[in-house]
Amino acid sequence: MAARLVKAFLPRRRMVQPAPTPPPCPFEKRFPSQLVRDDVFFMSLAYNQAIDAWRRDEVPIGCVIEREGEIIAMAHNTVEAAHDPTAHAEMLAITQAAAAIGDWRLENCTLYVTKEPCPMCSGATLMSRLQRVVYAVGDPKMGCLGGATDLNARPAANHHLELTRGVLEKPCRDLIRAYFQLKRREE
Ligand SMILES: [Zn+2]
């Protein structure tokens, strides 16, 4: 009996899964000038992270966090590879940024992300006290910084973000759309 019980709780041998083969990405990375460090520059780097996500067969969303003109975090979705529903680009970048500056308060930091943050990530942008969030594509279904709802607009919130929407919107939208279209065709 005891032996049988122990066996039931032993980890099952994991199935060896073949490496994912993402549909080939028809988009190229962007090469913004290093001399002009504006919103388009930082969003271009977030876009490049999204391309990296596609190449690993992850939903192509990328994020960077900037402080005083320097990039302190860069990430893309790793939900599939990490088997982790919280491994969104913004969550990973916020953790990286806090580690980089040794403070959970990301005051004076701007987060750039290619798609409007979901409920989880919108919450994290507020809880980390980011100064500013810039996103490319709005999300009327799940976006919580103006798309479906706006957590930042709650008068009772003890922290408010500066928000900029629509930077590099078309390329970021085209990338996400194309990924889902090709995935659907594959299936
Ligand atoms: Zn999210």
- Pairwise CA distance, residues 41 & 60, whole Å: 18
Proportion of the chain above pLDDT 90, given as a percent: 81
CA of 164 to the centre of ligand 1 (A): 17
Q: Determine the straight-line distance between the first and last CA of the chain, rounded to whole angstroms.
A: 45
| Opening angle at CA 148, ends 152 and 98, nearest 5 | 45
Whether residue 90 lies in the annotated active site: yes
Question: pTM value?
Answer: 0.89
Those residues whose beta carbon sits under 5 angstroms from the ion ligand 1 are 88, 118, 120-121
Predicted pLDDT of residue 157: 84
| Tokens standing for residue 143 | 């976006």
Mean pLDDT of 141-167: 95
Q: What is the pLDDT of residues 46-57, one digit of tens each?
A: 999 999 999 999
Interval 37-53 mean pLDDT: 97
Q: Is the pLDDT of residue 151 over 90?
A: yes
Neighbour count for residue 144 (Cβ, 10 Å) = 21
Nearest to 179 by CA among 90, 81, 61: 61
Q: Calculate ∠ Cα 130-131-136, nearest 5°.
A: 85
Q: What are the pLDDT digits (tens) for 101-127? A: 999 999 999 999 999 999 999 999 999
Give the Å distance between the CA of 14 and the centre of ligand 1.
Answer: 28
Give the confidence band of 22 by pLDDT, cuts at 50, 70, 90: confident
Q: How far is the CA of 70 from the centre of ligand 1 (A)?
A: 23
Active-site option among 28, 90, 169, 187:
90
Residue 65 has pLDDT above 90, yes or no: yes
Give the mean pLDDT of the chain. 92
Q: Give the Å distance between the CA of 183 and the centre of ligand 1.
A: 20
What is the whole-number distance in angstroms between the Cα of residue 137 and the centre of ligand 1? Answer: 13
Compute, in angstroms, the gap from residue 66 CA to the centroid of ligand 1: 19
